[in-house]
Each structure stands twice: as structure tokens, then as C-alpha cells.
Amino acid sequence: MSESVHIEVTINGRDRAFEVAANHTLLDVLRDQLGLTGTKECCVVGECGACTVVVDGIPMNSCLMLAVEIDGRDVTSVEGLAKDGHLNALQQAFLDVSAPQCGFCIPGQLMSAHALLQRNPNPTVDDVHEALGGNLCRCAGYLQITEAVLVAAKAGQQ
Amino acid sequence: MKEFSYERPESLDEALQVLATSGSDIEILAGGTDLVIAMRDRYSQPKVVVDIKRIAELSPSLVWDDNAVTLSATATMSEVVGDEGINTHFPALVEAAVVVGSVQIRNRATVLGNICNGSPAADTAPPLLAYDAVIVVAGPDGIRRIPIDDFIVGPGRTDLHEGEIAIAVEVAVPPRMVGSAYERMTRRRGTDLASVTLCATVDDAGVTQVAYGSVGPRAWLKVDETGVLADPSASVEAKAAVFEEIFADASPSVRSLRASPDYRRAMLRVLGARAVERAIERLQELQGVS
Amino acid sequence: MTSNGMVGASPNRVGGRDRVTGAQEYVADIHFVGELHAKLVKIDESRARIISIDTAKAEQVPGVRLILTPDDLPKPMPRFGPQYQDRPVLAAGVVNYHGEPVAAVAADTKEAAEEAADLVVVEFEVLPEVHTIKAALAPGAPLVQDPSLRSGEPLAHTNIKTEINYGWGDVAAVEGNADYVIEREYEFPMITHFAIEPHGFIAEPVDDGLNVWSTIQHPFQLQKTLANLLDIPLSKMRVFAPDPGGGFGGKQHPKLEPLVCYMALKTGKPVRLIMSLEETFQAVRRPSTRVRVRIGLTNDGDLVFQDIETDYLIGAYVDIADRVAEKSSYLAAGPYRVPDVKIVGRTILSNTTPTTAFRGFGVPQITWARESTLDEAAVELGIDRYEIRRRNLPEPGFEFVPGDTPSDGDWRQTADKAAELIGWGTPLPEGRGRGIAFGIKSGPTTGLSYSTVRLLADGSAIVFSGTSDMGQGARTVFAQIVAQEMGIPIENVNVIMGDTATVPYDQQTSASRSTVLMGTSVYRACKDVHGKVKAMAARVHGVDEADIEVDGGVVSLTGEELPITDVVTAGLGALGGEVIGNGEMRKDKVPGHPLAGNAAFFEFNCTAIEAEVDGETGEIQIIKHVTVGDVGTALNPQQVQGQDDGAAIMGLGHSLMEGLILDEQGRTRNLGAIDYRIPTSKDLPIELISASIENHDGPGPYGVKGVSEGSLLCTAPAVGAAVRDATGLVIRDLPLTPQRVWEAMREQQS
């Protein structure tokens, strides 16, 4: 009962139509089928957040979504943050504050932060900790990651 | 993950038809936060996965009317947390929903999924029990309305029959004034699975309900009609005696990775007292008493 | 020194841009046309004899190209390992730990490989196993390693791999002089690295050699291991080491690369094995320990003697565990003046996940025991717990280990800073406690790093370095050094790493060594460039070389100061070209030294914690967490802070919430992220303060010492001491979960 499903989706601002296997997760499809390897695979049980993407403005763990579920929806992954090669304020803040250490959790952190700032442009420290609470960092760069989000928030308000 | 046939019905009838023809080898996909893990682990190997998120009758996912809220099968934890009415009338449900995993999980996990998955540790079970929620089930023979206490059967088991699908949970604002609170015990402050879940409600007639889970095959609802728990001036000993009875059914697993039976039993009592205390505070706020 | 503003600056992380755009390529992001996907076949036992491996059904799965079993490997089974060559490429007739690979499938797709792996039928006979120190040492205990593979070793008929004896003076003779003696035993749990990037390996057969991609921290060691095993010359054995997504020591040594190489050679195609997080947990962990500490003091709190015995429970194969034991035991007595010391360390084999290096390299485990015991002693003696430590600290330059590297920093200043920041001695609100601890770890004792710097015709530069940048920011540090020495903007410096074919030899990335060792090598490469520039300037300006100075990117001659790039452009002339400089930093073995060499530097840390304990639930809230290290010079303060904060929080992990749980048969029960808890952004101390003492007294360029492990050394004893201070509870094992604390409270009440 092999099943291939046709989906139409906007990914990082680009309208696309293609077939996906029903039993492939969104993470599988992003990384293996579309070559968008920015989104990372780690725990695959929705605990670490390394696979976080934003779907219709809402951050989700792509490891726990079937790819077919994004049919008709708008998906943003880390590759969609920069515009024409220019880092957005959040990415720049992460760099300026030296938030990424090994960098592996960073795409997920960025997507959670991106979704947070879209919804709440002026978050408190606690808001940031809560919004990024599902993004594990073993380098434990949490303080600098939090600072980066707040710096970006401030930059966005000017 | 094994291969399966993916169905995405657009109406309840269509969904029921798929269920009728697919036998028992089906799984319902709402938020997927439990199902995808189970399928990846090969713990669940359905032939058909039915994605219910496009069923017209399930939208909107959250509807208020006549002093009751209906959460359809697609209502997520985040939606519950963000609803003003639920925050006002069912604060314990919000307190539970907001700790079911991270933001990413809560944006997908559904309340009804949490109940239907049947984990004894389901965070939303104790509040829904304490709020007398009703589960609405659609099947080939029509609609059934089942009080949640009857709907929850055991670990991974509910009263759903083959061919049926749970489509909503209805929670009515209690006729009396009620204060409520939710407590849980975890291994760390960050997102975690609970080793004890507990909800207490206290109403203005002095009736206290304590619903608790993660300490046995299912979450239980117990009622104290003596008025002792609801009475802020009752002695610690008197309250302890009532709690002993309330928690008598607790049978925490010896094999659990998360907490020992002794700790769980002790925390039931600690969290029970704390939840009741907060419930009383909330009731007093409603009553305009401080 | 001409400062170009690079020393002590925090320029944006080199390589940072790729990390924030998703462009950074980790091993799992790399693909090849025609690649095969590998999946391991394992059994759910910690020890079993393999009777047969039936691949018939698995072979039927469409897309399966190879199922590698021991029959496909040379006989006897090839073995490898950094200290002992005891680890087989595949389980050699017997599985010795839960998760040891028995066979491996290679297929066209991930799904086919998974399906086939499930269909391989392994017939086995469960064997008795040992997974605790007690069980491993019990008379008649089943032996983890076959004595015939340990021939010549005195302890071959036991589960003790190695016994180490260190010390100085004569403890037995002076014991009677102590006014007060305390003896305690402390335990440290099994902890896994949990880098967010699971391990991954790719092997691609090429010509008569192999290209290998690995998450490895030591690419050259891997290269050597594979070249030896497979009989391929080093020149044809190319290891690519993309930045690991977190290493922490778990990715230092070869694990499954040999297996993947055999599969690639057999199929003639690229083979990739990306491990799951659960498989990664089964592959690496920290040694757990039982430490018996006996300390003698005068009534004033002066240390008279220390007598420390550490049993390290290591895994089924040694990996680098003996070295962990040697190095950490060597400094078991801590950063103190102690006239007489006796140290014993034993590595004890068990049927558990092989232990490997992990940030701190055994020191956190011993520090937990020693500092906690000292704390108990202070309380009993009625001496301030900070004072009892401080009074025993040596002055800089004191041989606190006689005959060895003297104390290399002002440790009192470092400790005082921590005490000041935590407010030691100031009143505490009711229900709160404070704890403080000192710790010390050796930097590298041997090393070898080569570096090449190419100063290009337009004044930009390329640095080649074999260090692995796994988040500690090595790339940036080397770029800073070159920018400083060449007087060029850091944006014009390109750092090439991670390719044994293009980058000169580096022994390893570990022991916080890279800024000091590779940094020195890069610095010397720059000096080599300077030397050539000097010659160029002499030629172009007709001046004697002796009258020319080159410093920090400026060439001074006959009263003129010229930027180095101008001299180079003029010197290269019409043909163009570049100036190539080479640097070498060698720290040779010292024959007869117990650690094969003395420490290049020390990481000294003082951690102080203020905490509150919920008397009903046992939950600990860290109110304030202070960590101060003696860093010499913070070449890049932002990165130093990131490392210190990160190590501090990682320390809270094993202090409060982490621990592998085994069942009665030695199988790991909490594999994966759901039941192995590490700190999240919601588990941070309310206030975390990290600080550095900079006296520019380190052996590296500009006075740097190594950093990145210090803040992890003392976290547990500081937390434990704060809990004790707040509640009177004495708990001698970790983690201090709410349940554990509650159990201690209950015991205390009864």
C-alpha cells in the first residue's frame, strides 16, 4: 500500500507542488527530499526542538508532522529568514551576541524566536524562556540566546 | 515508519465511512504528537491514518455558547491556553494545558487527543474530570455523549468502539461558584512528563473534588462532601484524614522510570493540599472575599 | 606589542554566519550520489553469546545491498582503540554492552535499511553480566574482557583494568598528626554527553583509498586508526571533520568509522551511518565513580593529608578511560598544599556503554567527593567553609604536586572573586543555603600542533589548523591571532579546518588545549611569516635585517613604520605570490612522568551557589550561581563567557537531573530525550554570573590559558553544600532530583 500524496505548499516564500510519501515526516521531506538541511534531526520525539519550523506562523516540531499535513500551508524554515542574502535582525543579533556555539540547535532556536517575535514584539525574559523552552542547547548557550532575542526585539522596535 | 494509506476526510460522514471500511487497523491523526512517535517506533502500525483536521464539522475548534465551551477534536493546547473564557471559568484546564510539553508541542497536541491516547499521566484528564466534562463521540449509530469519568477506562483504553471517533469535549460552566487549581510534579522545571497530576475544585457549597492521575491505570475523580477540605480553618490532621481516603486508590507503578511509588504517594498529599488551598483562594476571589 | 584591538576583543564568531542561516554543513547534511544508508543491528541484551546471524529474510528487502556480519571481516576480528586495541569492529561472538553492533545493513534508502535491520535474526544466549562496581568486583564475577585478550596484564583475571597509584610523602606516617580525620564515600552517576548532534559517519571509497566524514574531534587520530586497520597509507586515507554539533569529549575517538569503512570498501559505494540519539546514548558516557575520601586536618583547618581512592566504572571497552582515571586521579587532592597524599585509582570494566572523555575528564567526579567531604569537615570543625579552602591554597609558583608544574595562577584572587560575587558571609534569607567549592584540572600534558599561515598578495590571509571547532570558538580565536599579527581586519582572514589532506597535523582537540597549543602554533606560523617579511623588507629597502622589526602587522625600519601588507605587495613584485609561514607547537612526552608529561597549564575554578529547597517536594531552586576561572587572558571574552556559562549549566545537569538508569540486566532504560533530562531554558539559575581572572600569565599567545572545562568541575559539590547549608541534609550521590532530596529529608526525620 505504497502511497504518494500530491501537496501544494509555500516554502520559504516560494510556491511549490510535489509528491510526498504518506509515511515521511515533514522533517524527512525538508532534509532529504527538498535539500533544506538547515532544519536538524536529533531526538525525533518532539523533545529537543532542533527540528522546529514555522507553519502558518506557528512553531512546530517537524519531526512529529507528516509531510502531507502541510498541504495548502505556509512553511518557513531557517533558510527562509534571510532575504536576498541579508540576515534578518534576529540572525544578526544571534551573531553579534555570540549566541551560536556549536550551532546545531540554532536553526530551531531561531525559528522559535522568530515565531515569538511575530506574535509578541516586546517579550520579557520569561516570555523568551517559555517560547524557547522546547529548544534544547547542550552547549547551554541559553543566556546568550535569550539576550540575542531581546536585542532583536529591541532592534525591531526602532 | 511503515507505509499506510492516508485519508483526509472533509466531512464527518466521510470520516465515519472510512472508519467503517477500515476495520480496526486505523489511527486518528489530530496533532500527531503521540501518534507519530508510536508509528515511528512501530508500536502502532496502522493500515490507514485518518487526518481529521479538514473535517468541516470540527471547525471552529473552540466554540462558546450558553455557558459551555465545546472543544472539537482539533482544539490544541495552545488554543485552550489562549482562550479568555477558558482562563476565566476553567483556569485549572489552562494550567494543565500550558505544561503539556513545549510551545511547539502545545501548538499541535489536542485536548481530545490527550484524553483518547489514554495515558494515565495525561495532564488534561484531572481538570476535565473535575469540571465534569462530557466526551462527544460520533459513530455509525449516531452521537453518544459520555461523561469523561466513564469514557476513560484504563491505560491506553477509552470507551470508544470500533468505527467511532471522538469529535468533541464539552465543558459546562458549573452552576455554583467554583475555585479550581491544577498541580503536577516533574523532575525538572523545564518541560517534562508529570509523575503526579492533580486538580482540585472547591465550590461554595463546601464540596471539594480531587482528580488525580499518573499513579495508577487511569486518572480518578474523588469527592469530599464532608466540607473538611473546603474549610480553611479545618485542622491539618482532619484534612490529612480526608486525603487518605481520597488517595486510597493510588497504585503507582514500581517499574516507573520517573518517580518511586513512595515519592508519588507523598507528593499526592503535598500537591493535594496545595491545589485545594489555591482552589479555595480562587473561590474566595470569586466570592469577593479575600 | 602593537595592539590591533584583537586581543580581548569579541569579534563576531568566524563561521557564525553559516550557523545562523542553516548553511552550516554537519555530517548528516552531506550527501553523495549513489550513497547507501546504513543501519545497525543490535540485540536487547547487555551481554550475550552470538550463536548465529541469519540474514536471509533481510536480504529479500528490495534495495538492500549488504548485510555486514563478522564473517565479512578479517579474522581475527580487527580491534582498535586509543589506548588499548580492544574494541571490535562488530561484536566478536559476544555482545558486551547494551547496544553493541552485531551486524550492519547498507541499503539504497533509510527505510529499506531499517526494515532489513529488523529482519536480521540473531540467535543468542544470554550471559551473566555485571553493571555495577560491586558486581564487577565480586569474587567469581563474570569477566567482561577475555583474559586471553589481556595477556601480560597483571589484573587480566579480574574486571579491574588498571590500578593507578600516585601520591607523595607518607600518609601512614603522618596520620597521627592530624587533629581531625574524616572519611566519606561519594558516588557520581552515569552521565551521557547528549550533544544535540547525534554521531554520524560517511565513508566513500576513492581510487585506492578512502574519504571519511565523521563528527570526530580528533581527525588525525581517526586517520591513523583507519589507516592502520585497513592498511591504507595515510596519504590515501582522508578524514573530513565538519564542525561537530557539540562534542564535549564524546566524539574524540573512533567508534563506528571502521565499520562504515569496511561497508564502503565491500560495496564500492559511499555508505552513511547517522546514529539516532538513542544509539548515541548507547555509544558514549562518562565514567561513573565511587570515591572514598579520607582527609586529615589540624583543628585550624590546615590539610595534613589526603587519602583518596577512586573506582571508575568504565564500560566494556576501555576507549580513553584509563587516561581519564590517570589524569583525574593525579590531581585528586585538588588545588591545595597538602604535605602527604596517597591516591589510588582503579578502572573497572563492566558490561555497559564504553566510557570516553567528557568535559572535565574525571575531575568533576572526584571534585564532588573531595569538596563535599571537605565541606562536611568544615561544618564539624566549626570552620568557615570558604576559609578552610582558602587557607590551604598555594601561592603562585608552588609545586603543589611535588616535582611537577607549579600552581600557575593567583588562585586566591580567583577564589576571592567568587566569594565576593556570591556575597559569602553576608546574611541569607531563611530557608536558603550557600555552598562553595574549588576545583582544578590539568590542561594537556603532551601535544603536537602544526599550523600554516598564508599571507596573500592582497594582504588577506588563510590559516590552516587541524583543531575541531565544536562550539568553543577555535576558528575565531585563530583568526584573531592572525588578524592581530598581520594587522589586517579579521574579516579578511579565512580559517581552513577539518581536512587531513589539506591541513597539517594536529594531535587532538581536547583538554581545553587549542588556544594554547594550536594558538601557539598559529602564532609561530605568523612569526615565520614575519621573518620572511623581514627578509623581503631588507631586500626591497636595502636595509640590514637586524635593523628591522616586525610586530603586530607593522614593519619598522629606519625610522619608518610600514603596514606589513605594503611590504609584502612591494616584495612580491610583478609575479605576485604569497608568503607562507609554518608553525609548530610540540609538547613532548616526559619519560617516566606518570601522565607522560607535565601540565601545560591548569584550569582553576571556584564555584559558589546559593539555593533554596522546597521542604515538602525536595525541589531545589538555584538562586545564584557564581563561577570564576583563572584564564590568563580572555582572548575573546564573549566566547569565554559562553563556554563558562555553558559549562556551569551543564554541571547543573549532572547535579540536579541527569543520570542513566539501567535495569537489572544492565540494559539502559532511559535512552533518548524523553526520560534523560538535561537543563532547558527554564532550568536556569535565577542569576548566573561567570567571571574571569586575567593576569596574562598563561603559556599561550598573549598570556592565555585554556578554558571551557573549569566551570563544570565544582558545580555538584557547590550545589550539595548549599543544600546542606539550607537543610542539614547530607546526600552523597547524584543527581539531587526532587525525589532524592525528599528521600533524604524523610531519612533525616526518622
Q: How distant, in Å, are the alpha carbons of B192, B257, C356, C506, C706 from that of C663?
A: 22, 10, 22, 41, 39
- Residue C459 in contact with residue C565, Cβ under 8 Å? yes
Write down which residue in B32, B51, B70 finishes a domain: B51
Contact residues, chain B, for C738 at CB < 8 Å: 185, 187, 263
**Cα dihedral C648, C649, C655, C660 in deg (nearest 10):** -120
Cell of B284: 474566595
Give the SS3 label for residue C411.
helix
Tell me the C-alpha distance between C497 and C290, whole Å.
39
Q: What is the average pLDDT across C434-453?
A: 96
Write down which residue in C567, C587, C607 finishes a domain: C587
Q: Which has the closest alpha carbon to C305: C370, C368, C369?
A: C370
**Across the interface, do C682 and B185 touch by the CB < 8 Å criterion?**
no
B40 in the same domain as B78: no
User: In which band, very low, low, confident or very high, does the pLDDT at C226 lie, cut at 50, 70 and 90?
Assistant: very high
User: In which band, very low, low, confident or very high, does the pLDDT at C1 lie, cut at 50, 70 and 90?
Assistant: low
Determine, yes or no, domain membership for C76: yes
Q: What is the pLDDT of residue C3?
A: 66
Model confidence at C350: pLDDT above 50: yes
- C 674-693 near A (Cβ less than 8 A): 674, 678-682, 684, 688
Q: Which of A49, A66, A135 sits opposite B32 (nearest CB)?
A: A66
Q: What is the pLDDT of residue B247?
A: 98
**Across the interface, do B104 and A59 touch by the CB < 8 Å criterion?**
yes
C312 in the same domain as C432: yes
Tell me the C-alpha distance between A123 and B171, whole Å.
32
C212 in the same domain as C65: yes
Determine, yes or no, domain membership for C521: yes
- Residue C312 in contact with residue C287, Cβ under 8 Å? yes
| Chain B contact for A1 (CB, 8 A cutoff) | yes
Determine, yes or no, domain membership for C167: no
Q: What is the pLDDT of residue C2?
A: 59
Indicate the pairing of strand A74-76 with strand A4-11.
parallel
Q: Which of C13, C245, C650 sits opposite A95 (nearest CB)?
A: C13
| Angle made by CA atoms C335, C246, C6, in degrees to the nearest 5 | 70
Q: What is the pLDDT of residue C558?
A: 85
Determine, yes or no, domain membership for C321: yes
Q: What is the pLDDT of residue A3?
A: 85
**Across the interface, do B190 and C743 touch by the CB < 8 Å criterion?**
no
Tell me the C-alpha distance between C665 and C660, whole Å.
14
Residues of chain B with pLDDT under 70: 290
C549 in the same domain as C459: yes
| Angle made by CA atoms C626, C519, C701, in degrees to the nearest 5 | 75
Model confidence at C246: pLDDT above 60: yes
Tell me the C-alpha distance between A157 and C499, whole Å.
44
C265 in the same domain as C238: yes
Instruction: State ipTM.
Output: 0.98
Domain count, chain C: 3
> pTM of the prediction?
0.97
**Across the interface, do C661 and B257 touch by the CB < 8 Å criterion?**
yes
Tell me the C-alpha distance between C501 and A2, whole Å.
44
Tell me the C-alpha distance between B154 and B59, whole Å.
29
Nearby residues of A2 by Cβ (< 8 Å), 6 or more positions away: A21, B3
**Across the interface, do A133 and B47 touch by the CB < 8 Å criterion?**
no
Model confidence at A22: pLDDT above 90: yes
Q: Phi, psi (5° rounding) for residue B286? A: -65, -35
Cell of C563: 603596514
Domain count, chain B: 3
Q: What is the pLDDT of residue A1?
A: 39
pLDDT digits (tens, 9 = 90+) for C627-638: 999 999 999 999
Tell me the C-alpha distance between B146 and B128, whole Å.
13
| Chain B contact for A63 (CB, 8 A cutoff) | yes
**DSSP designation for C471:** S
| Angle made by CA atoms A34, A37, A41, in degrees to the nearest 5 | 115
**Across the interface, do C650 and A138 touch by the CB < 8 Å criterion?**
yes
C468 in the same domain as C414: no
Q: What is the average pLDDT across C231-238?
A: 97
Q: Scanning the structure block, which residue is given the C-alpha cell 533544506?
A: A36
Q: What is the average pLDDT across C99-103?
A: 98
User: Which percentage of chain A shows pLDDT scores above 90?
Assistant: 96
C578 in the same domain as C517: yes
**DSSP designation for B165:** E
Q: What is the pLDDT of residue A2?
A: 52
C459 in the same domain as C384: no
Nearby residues of C122 by Cβ (< 8 Å), 6 or more positions away: C41, C43, C50, C52, C53, C54, C102, C103
Q: Which has the closest alpha carbon to C725: C734, C717, C713?
A: C717
C501 in the same domain as C399: no
pLDDT digits (tens, 9 = 90+) for C566-601: 999 889 988 899 999 999 999 999 999 999 999 999
Tell me the C-alpha distance between B164 and C224, whole Å.
62
Q: What is the pLDDT of residue C556?
A: 93
Q: What is the pLDDT of residue C513?
A: 87
Query: Which amino acid makes up residue C435?
Result: G
Cα C630 versus chain centre, distance: 19
User: In which band, very low, low, confident or very high, does the pLDDT at C608 lie, cut at 50, 70 and 90?
Assistant: very high
Q: What is the average pLDDT across C507-519?
A: 88
- C 11-70 near A (Cβ less than 8 A): 12-13, 15-26, 28-29
Tell me the C-alpha distance between C158 and C156, whole Å.
5
**Across the interface, do A141 and C638 touch by the CB < 8 Å criterion?**
no
Bridge partners of B221?
B211
Angle between the N-to-C axes of helices B236-246 and B261-287, in degrees from 0 to 180, rounded to the nearest 10: 120
Query: Which amino acid makes up residue C69?
Result: T
Query: Which amino acid makes up residue C422?
Result: I
| Angle made by CA atoms C417, C420, C423, in degrees to the nearest 5 | 150
Cell of C275: 546514529
Q: Which of B190, B263, B270 sits opposite C739 (nearest CB)?
A: B263
C357 in the same domain as C215: no
Determine, yes or no, domain membership for C370: yes
| Chain B contact for A41 (CB, 8 A cutoff) | no
Is the backbone peptide bond immediately before B60 cis, with ω within 30 degrees of 0? Answer: yes
Residue C51, number of CB atoms within 10 A of its CB: 10
Subunits with 3+ Cβ pairs within 8 Å of C are A, B
CATH code (residue C328)? 3.30.365.10
Average pLDDT value for chain C: 96
**B84 burial class (0-12, 13-18, 19+ CB within 10 angstroms)?**
exposed
In angstroms, the first-to-last Cα distance of chain C is 67
Q: How distant, in Å, are the alpha carbons of C168, C176, C294, C341, C378 from that of C172?
A: 11, 8, 12, 10, 23
Secondary element (H or E) of residue C631: none
**Across the interface, do B185 and C680 touch by the CB < 8 Å criterion?**
no
Tell me the C-alpha distance between C495 and C476, whole Å.
8
Tell me the C-alpha distance between A98 and C222, whole Å.
30
Q: What is the pLDDT of residue B190?
A: 92
**Across the interface, do C196 and A42 touch by the CB < 8 Å criterion?**
yes
CATH code (residue C111)? 3.90.1170.50
Determine, yes or no, domain membership for C10: no
Give the SS3 label for residue C541.
helix
Q: Scanning the structure block, which residue is given the C-alpha cell 575573546?
A: C636
Give the SS3 label for residue A126.
helix
Tell me the C-alpha distance between C524 and C585, whole Å.
8
C293 in the same domain as C273: no
Cell of C657: 537531573
- Which domains are seen in chain A, by residue range? 4-78 (3.10.20.30), 89-156 (1.10.150.120)
The 3-state secondary structure of C230-243, one letter per residue: HCCCHHHEEEECCC
- Tell me how close the Cα of A129 comes to any Cα of chain C, in angstroms: 5
| Chain C contact for A91 (CB, 8 A cutoff) | yes
Q: What is the pLDDT of residue C207?
A: 85
Q: What is the average pLDDT across C618-626?
A: 98
CATH code (residue B90)? 3.30.465.10
CATH code (residue B260)? 3.30.390.50
Q: How many CB pairs under 8 A join A and C?
A: 167
pLDDT digits (tens, 9 = 90+) for C147-177: 999 999 999 999 999 999 999 999 999 999 9
C606 in the same domain as C523: no
Q: What is the pLDDT of residue C5?
A: 83
C359 in the same domain as C401: yes
- Residue B97 in contact with residue B111, Cβ under 8 Å? yes
Cell of C283: 555509544
- Residue A139 in contact with residue C642, Cβ under 8 Å? yes
Write down which residue in B151, B172, B193 finishes a domain: B172
Domain coverage including residue C734: 288-444+594-749
- Residue C151 in contact with residue C173, Cβ under 8 Å? no
Q: Which residues of C83-110 are buried (b: 16+ CB within 10 A; e: fewer)?
A: bbbbbbbbbbebbbbbbbbbbbbbbbeb
Domain coverage including residue B15: 5-51
| Chain A contact for B180 (CB, 8 A cutoff) | no
Q: Which of A1, A49, A58 sits opposite B102 (nearest CB)?
A: A49
Q: Which of B28, B79, B95, B104 to mutate to probe the A interface, most A CBs <10 Å? A: B104
Q: Which has the closest alpha carbon to C51: C69, C34, C66?
A: C69
Query: Which amino acid makes up residue B19?
Result: L
B167 in the same domain as B70: yes
Determine, yes or no, domain membership for C135: no
Q: Which of C739, C742, C747, C749 to mutate to probe the B interface, most B CBs <10 Å? A: C739
- Tell me how close the Cα of C111 comes to any Cα of chain B, in angstroms: 8
Determine, yes or no, domain membership for C2: no
The DSSP result for C488-526, as a single string, is: --GGGEEEE-SBTTTS--B--S-TT-TTTHHHHHHHHHH
Write down which residue in B149, B172, B195 finishes a domain: B172
Tell me the C-alpha distance between B64 and C202, whole Å.
56
Tell me the C-alpha distance between C400 and C620, whole Å.
36
pLDDT digits (tens, 9 = 90+) for C716-725: 999 999 999 9
Write down which residue in C539, C555, C587 finishes a domain: C587
CATH code (residue B13)? 3.30.43.10
Tell me the C-alpha distance between B193 and B214, whole Å.
10
Nearest-Cα residue of chain B relative to residue A108: B104
